[in-house]
Amino acid sequence: MCHLRTEGTALQQKAEYYRGGTVNTRTVNTKVFIASLLLPALAGCVGNVKDNHTQDRMDWRSAVKEQLPLLGHRNWILVVDKAFPAQNSPGIETINTDIGLIDVLKFTLHQIDSSTHVKPIIYCDKELEYITASQVGSVDSFRKELAGALGGNQPKVILHDSVFVKIDEAAKLFKILVLKTNETIPYSSVFIQLDCRYWSGEKEASLREAMK
């Protein structure tokens, strides 16, 4: 009888052990199942973060392409250095490109030159001509790159504050698109006033004279 009791107890313990094992297996299986659902979602989140970062960098290009057909005579596009101040005027939209000024300028001028309705009138700060290499080590190479980026466009060189006067006045009636860059050379900003490509100032003057 003692032997039977011992065997019975052992069988009962084994049964309880296997029942416990079944519970543990189910728990593990449940965790694995949940993990299998979460891992693709987490991977998707990581992918989305990368995609969004790339998209953010591309948004300024999309903005230029989308808005240029809406812009015209007397609108402005400003390609500015990193310290360019945010503006309060509701007519000014600022986009952070997060890349260098020269690349943004080349792309913007290419889009303008490829358009059928506007051409650029370009302003640069006079102060940039007087900055020395001892003040800003890379200023000479920047000036060369800037001249290359402008291509055949001859900029009007005026004092920085004079450009702001023009921008402030224009912003009261017309939209201004500001493309902020990572450039840290002072007075490196380039200010582009859009003009009508298919109607010149000379033709306008002739028209007004004929209307007298």
Per-residue b/e over 172-197, b at no fewer than 16 CB within 10 Å? Answer: eebbbbbbbbebebbbbbbbbbbbeb
Find out whether 177 and 93 touch, Cβ atoms under 8 Å. yes
Q: 71-207 is classed in which CATH architecture?
A: 3-Layer(aba) Sandwich (3.40)
pLDDT at 206: 95
Q: How confident is the model at residue 29 (pLDDT cuts 50, 70, 90)?
A: low
Q: Is 49 helix (H, G, I), strand (E, B) or coil?
A: helix
Q: What percent of the chain has pLDDT over 90?
A: 69
Find out whether 71 and 193 touch, Cβ atoms under 8 Å. no
Find out whether 75 and 172 touch, Cβ atoms under 8 Å. no
* pLDDT tens for each residue of 142-194: 999 999 999 989 999 999 999 999 999 999 999 999 999 999 999 999 999 99
Q: Which is nearest to 192 in space by CA: 117, 108, 87?
A: 108
Predicted structure pTM score: 0.73
H/E stretch holding 165 reads helix 160-171
76: β partners: 176, 193
Q: Which is nearest to 77 in space by CA: 130, 131, 113, 126?
A: 113
Residue with tokens 């900003």: 189
Q: Report the mean per-residue pLDDT for the chain.
A: 83
